[in-house]
Structure 1
Amino acid sequence: MAIKDWFTRHNGSQSTETSSDAMETRQTIENPTVPVSAENFFAYFGLNNVTLPHVTVDNALRVPAVWAAVAFMSRTLAALPLHAYRDSKKGPQKISGKLEAVIHDSPNDEMDSFKFRQWFWQQVFTGGRGLAWIERTPQGIEALWPMDPTKTTLKRVGMKVVYQFDGKEYPSADVIDVPFMLRPCGLRHYGPISMASKAIQLALAMNDYGSNFFAGGGVPPLALEGPLPAGPEAMARAKADIKRSVDAAKEKNEPVFPIPAGYKLTPVGLDPAKGQMIEARRFQVEEIARTYQLPPVFMQDLTRATFSNVEQQDLHFVKHLIGQWAEALEGEMNLKLFGRGNSGRYVEHNLDGLLRGDFMSRMTGYATAIQNAIRTPDEVRSLENLPAQGGEAEKLHIQGATVPLGMQNTTAKPVPANDNKQDNGTQAA
């Protein structure tokens, strides 16, 4: 029986058609403004608003996988030691003074280095761009100040890029700019959350469905089968009766509840188990991990983790992810802080902290470095935050007798095994 005929017979609704465009005028039980046709069937039952949620940075961070990825990566990059160096005949030397204070200690009067860089990387891994203004004085670099990427616009003036923020314009030479990925125009960018919006939408929808399902006591939406009452008021009373029965059964923890004779309740849709909700939610973690090229183990997904491959994922994380983003910031800071022609000064992260390993592995590595003249004992002590000893500990050593480098071929005067002579050469008694 056609839907039109069913409602005409049970509710006395009238249906009219025109010969020209076959337009129909129908009146429904609940909403007279919604025509009951095949394409509007779900709207008749109040399901016309079934859409995936809109994705913004704020609601994307409510997905645990997105939150974990952004928080973990931003904190890791912020925790890396960052110093300024100057080339010399003896090799790289740390720069002291105001420049080191700005880069390593506190970029400005309101933020320390960790807080500033954590904020910076959070903008990169959410909206897709991190910006900071370089304050200069005649004496040099004075401070680095954050610029809200959502309130900054970019434009080209000739061949130069200009940043407009807070009513002012800043030349690109004074702005540190690290985009997640640039668009072909070279100005606009792609953001990870916007590009992964479909995967995040599914994760949000599953979160909402799961919370609504369990908030309702695990009872899925139900469809009432049987002779439907005529009129909106009668239908509302029938729905209210069924709802009271379901709520009463949930409150009393009873598995059975009565319904009127001649009616049947049928679940609408699938329950979480049949819909493979657990598997789907785990897959969304993998999808979001792909967005950031982040090994799943760092998002607390240990499904396929073993003792051996977790360590390899750790190396992958440093070599193919953190190392790349560290290089992106270093290159931008070296260009904007010191200029294109600079070759003597530079900033650099120290990635050794991410590869420290356990105590025994660290000590073995230190011993190998000292015995092969790679590090001095004092350099190793500084890595462990121990005070320098000076003297021989400042020199490179080589394995053998583990003596200072350059002294390994020095031969001491041999001493006889049975020397019984006194100092004057006579035989001792």
Structure 2
Amino acid sequence: MLEAIFRSDPLENPSVPITADSFDSDGVFKSDVYVTPETSMKLAAVYACIYVLSSNVAQMPLHVMRKDGDRVNVARDHPVFYLIHDEPNMWQTSYKWRELKQRHILGWGNGYTKVVRSKRGEVTGLDACMPWETTLIKTANRYTYGVYNDEGAFSIPVDDMIHIRALGNTQKMGLSPILQHAETIGMGMSGQKYTNTFFSGNARPAGIVSVKGEIKSDGWERLKKMWQKASLALRGEENKTLLLPAELDYKALTVSPVDAQLIDMLKLNRSMIAGIFNVPAHMINDLEKATFSNISEQAIQFVRYTIMPWVANWEQELNRRLFTRAKLAAGYYVRFNLAGLLRGTPKERAEFYHYAVTDGWMSRNEVRAFEDMNPVEGLDKMLVSVNAATPIKGDKEEGEPDE
């Protein structure tokens, strides 16, 4: 049955993936470059965007929570807590697992994780599956995930596969952002390749040596030897003058206006790639139009409009695969803690805590907990500003006339 389900093509090579319902698993030729989820990482802007998004998703604390009535507590005793918070499998920490999965989503459009269960159905591990080794296939009237790697070929039920998708055209598969924008990324890769050849001297000559008189048959050889000897004499020297015989004239070639626009094209391409991944330009070291004031605002926008959609994507997929409906009904759920990304400067945190304490919705010990400080006796009492306090019935405001 397995032979009928799985392909016989080797899948170890990421350039030969078997993702169904999607053409975008293969690379795309663009001019003189080959754009794939792997080769595109050689372009600095793509690498920076993927690293920024993957590291931010990975660094946030990930907890199992339980809501019991009006109270919400961290469910540290739940077996899933250790897996998603500390160690999902023997090869990865929680950080490296989430970082890798987010990289797969942004590169191949799909991130797969096998849910390992005991005979009793309890979750005991989370094994990362490579997107080029995994496919969604239909057998009879049901779907299943097929995986072919160095451990062999096997199928995984849909309920046991955490499948986080990028934006796609169907309800089952995501599309690779890299290959959806192969034109833009290919332009950047071509510009980078041209720049490399330009500065290595292969794209255009540095200058022209002209001869005032007529050159005899063996003159070219003597001319080349003379020029090479003069060039070698100046190698490593600064502020030296190149002396030429009277019959030779050297004219340096300046950079053409077209070549001078190369740097502007690369800047534009970097900005376009940042837009594809919805990453603020300053976060990939593009500080040309950044100021201290708008960087702070852009950081907040980054959390709201870039990280939050991915957080919702992760949370909803983890919830439906790690918990049964009974567990969900009992109040269990997974939650990312975004407080670290919105932590702010010491001055900003102090101002935030001041209003939280004086307005009466946070105690001083809760503030200390946020700052990783031990509680102090007597600081659990909630304080309320006099201006925010509810006046006692019967008390008269100053200046209020008697009835």
More displaced stretch, 356-365 vs 304-313:
304-313
Equivalent in 76, 82, 104 of residue 56 of structure 2: 76
Instruction: Work out the CA distance in 1 between the residues paired with 2:177 and 2:208.
Output: 40
Q: Is the 8 A contact 1:225 1:266 kept in 2?
A: no
Instruction: For 1:272 and 1:243, locate their aligned partners in 2 and report how far apart those are by CA, in whole Å.
Output: 30
Indicate which of 266, 282, 297 corresponds to 2:267. Answer: 282
Structure 1 residue 369 corresponds to structure 2 residue 356: yes
Distance 1:369 1:56, change over 3 A: same
Matching of residues 257-268 of structure 1 within 5 Å: none
Specify whether residues 212 and 178 from structure 1 end up closer, same or farther in structure 2 by C-alpha distance, changes over 3 A only: same
Matched residue count? 345
Q: 1:130 aligns with which of 106, 111, 114?
A: 111
Provide the C-alpha distance between the structure 1 equivalents of 2:242 and 2:228, rounded to a whole number of angstroms. Answer: 11
CA distance 1:174–1:223, change in 2 (3 Å): farther
Q: Which residue of structure 2 lines up, in the alignment, with residue 99 of structure 1?
A: 80
2:95 to 99, 114, 117: 114
1:195 aligns with 2:176: no
- What is the deviation of 1:370? 1.6
Unpaired segments ≥5 residues, structure 2: 1-29, 212-216, 235-240, 393-403
**Structure 2 Cα separation of the partners of residues 99 and 113 of structure 1:** 12
Which of structures 1 and 2 has the bigger CA Rg?
1
Question: CA-to-partner distance for each residue in 1:216-238, whole Å, 9 max, x for gaps?
Answer: 28853899999xxxxxxx9xx99
Q: For the Cα contact (< 8 Å) 1:213–1:220, is it kept in 2?
A: no
* Residue matched to 1:178: 164
Report whether the alignment pairs 1:89 with 2:72: no
Please report how far the alpha carbon of residue 339 of structure 1 lies from its aligned counterpart in structure 2 after TM superposition: 3.4
Aligned to 1:34: none
User: Do 1:82 and 1:347's aligned partners in 2 also have CA atoms closer than 8 Å?
Assistant: yes
Q: Which runs of 4+ in 1 moved over 6 A?
A: 221-226, 237-246, 254-258, 263-267
Which residues of structure 1 form unaligned runs of 5+? Answer: 1-49, 227-233, 410-429
Distance 1:239 1:311 in 2: 63
Letter in 1 for 2:161: V
Secondary structure at 1:396 match in 2: coil
Q: For the residues of structure 2 that align with 1:322 and 1:213, how far apart are their CA atoms?
A: 38
Q: Is the 8 A contact 1:135 1:144 kept in 2?
A: yes
Change (3 A) 1:101 1:265: same
153-162 vs 274-283, greater mean Cα deviation:
153-162
Q: Which residue of 1 is the match for residue 34 of structure 2? A: 54
CA distance in 2, matches of 1:82, 1:239: 72
Residue 17 of structure 2: aligned partner: none
Q: Matched residues in 2 for 1:126 and 1:183: separation?
A: 16
- How far residue 389 of structure 1 moved from its aligned partner, in angstroms, is 2.6
Distance change in 2, residues 1:203/1:221 (3 Å):
farther
* Displacement of 1:355: 1.1
Aligned counterparts of 1:389 and 1:351: Cα–Cα separation in 2: 26
Change in CA separation of 1:256 and 1:295 when aligned onto 2, cut-off 3 Å: farther
Query: 1:142 maps to which residue?
Result: 124
Q: Distance in 1 between matches of 2:116 and 2:53?
A: 27
Q: Which has the higher contact order (CA 8 A, sep 6+)?
A: 2
The 3-state SS of whatever aligns with 1:393 is coil
Distance 1:240 1:208 in 2: 33
Q: Does 1:356 align with 2:337?
A: no
Alpha-carbon spacing, 1:243–1:383, altered in 2? closer, same or farther (3 Å): farther
**Aligned AA (1:178):** I
Identity of aligned residues (%): 24
With normalisation by structure 1, the TM-score equals 0.70
Instruction: Give the 5 Å matches for 1:214-293.
Output: 214-216=199-201, 219-220=204-205, 250-253=231-234, 271=256, 274-293=259-278
**Aligned-residue offset at 1:271:** 4.2
Equivalences for 1:316-395 in 2 at 5 Å?
Answer: 316-340=301-325, 342-343=328-329, 344-390=331-377, 392-395=378-381
Distance in structure 2 (CA, Å) of the matches to 1:318 and 1:245: 63
What is the one-letter code of the residue matched to 1:127? Answer: W
User: Structure 2 CA distance, aligned partners of 1:288 and 1:251?
Assistant: 43
What are the within-5 Å matches in structure 2 for residues 382-421 of structure 1?
A: 382-390=369-377, 392-400=378-386
Quote the residue 1:153 is aligned against: 135
Structure 1 residues 386-409: Cα deviation after superposition (integer angstroms, max 9, x where no partner): 11235x33343322399xx99x97
Q: Deviations over 1:348-397 (max 9, x none)?
A: 1111211111101101111211222222222221111111235x333433
Q: Residues 89 and 199 of structure 1: is their aligned pair in 2 closer, same or farther, counting only changes over 3 Å?
A: same
1:312-337 deviation line (CA, Å, top 9, x unaligned): 21111000010110110000001111
Q: RMSD between aligned alpha carbons?
A: 3.6
Secondary structure of 2:156 counterpart? strand
